[in-house]
Amino acid sequence: MGTFIMLFYRNLLATGARWHHERFDGRGYPDGLSGMDIPEEARIIAVADDYDAMTSNRAYSNVRPQEEVRSEIERCRGSQFDPKIADLFIQMIDDDIEYQMHE
Residue 26 domain-assigned (yes or no): yes
CATH code, 87? 1.10.3210.10
Residue 91 domain-assigned (yes or no): yes
Total number of domains in the chain: 1
99: left (phi over 0), alpha (psi -120 to 50) or beta: left
- How many C-alpha atoms does 59 have within 13 Å on its Cβ side? 0
Does position 78 have pLDDT exceeding 70, yes or no?
yes
**pLDDT tens digits for range 13-69:** 888 999 999 999 999 999 999 999 999 999 999 999 999 999 999 898 899 999 999
Q: Report the SS3 class of residue 78.
A: coil
Mean pLDDT of 83-89: 97
Q: Determine the structural domain holding residue 58 and report its residue range.
A: 2-95
